[in-house]
């Protein structure tokens, strides 16, 4: 799915749509990616002359990739973060990098969904963690 197709699943819009493309593989793992261009709002001032993607933005990118796993369940709902556990940041993400995410559901208790995810840049994990979401009807 490209950004336009993702808008059929995710309620996010620019500038908060933080996944460029995504798909769910046959083994039910969501794969998503984002190319850091360098002009993003979240790089302004983080940090001058040394832009680094904030950890909280990396978590949001991971969460949006996770939501692709929920597909049509999101229809008529807003997915809200309900928790983050065991989140670790291992390497910095800079302009020009492509972050690739791999996310899988580990438990469902509707309206709550639990997933684990990792983000990878140049073959190295930059972020990993467990995320939980609540699907709240609009």
Q: What b/e readout covers 79-110, taking b as 16+ CB neighbours within 10 angstroms?
A: beeeeeeebebeeebeeebebbbbbbbeeeee
46 as an active site residue: the answer is yes
**What distance in Å separates the CA atoms of residue 27 and residue 56, rounded to the nearest whole number?**
28
Catalytic residue among 3, 7, 31, 46: 46
Q: d(Cα 70, Cα 7) in Å, to the nearest integer?
A: 14
Calculated CA dihedral for residues 13, 14, 15, 18, nearest 10 degrees: 70
55 φ, ψ (degrees, to nearest 5) = -60, -40
Active-site residue list: 46
């Amino acid at each position: 799915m490209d950004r336009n197709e993702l808008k059929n699943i995710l309620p996010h819009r620019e500038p908060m749509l933080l996944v460029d493309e995504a798909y769910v593989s046959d083994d039910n793992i969501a794969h998503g990616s984002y190319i850091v261009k360098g002009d993003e709002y979240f790089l302004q001032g983080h940090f001058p002359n040394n832009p680094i993607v904030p950890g909280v933005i990396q978590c949001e990118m991971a969460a949006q990739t996770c939501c692709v796993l929920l597909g049509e369940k999101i229809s008529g709902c807003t997915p809200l973060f309900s928790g983050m556990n065991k989140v670790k940041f291992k390497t910095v993400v800079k302009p020009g990098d492509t972050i690739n995410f791999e996310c899988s559901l580990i438990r469902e208790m509707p309206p709550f969904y639990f997933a684990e995810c990792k983000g990878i840049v140049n073959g190295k994990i930059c972020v990993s963690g467990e995320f939980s979401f609540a699907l709240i009807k609009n």
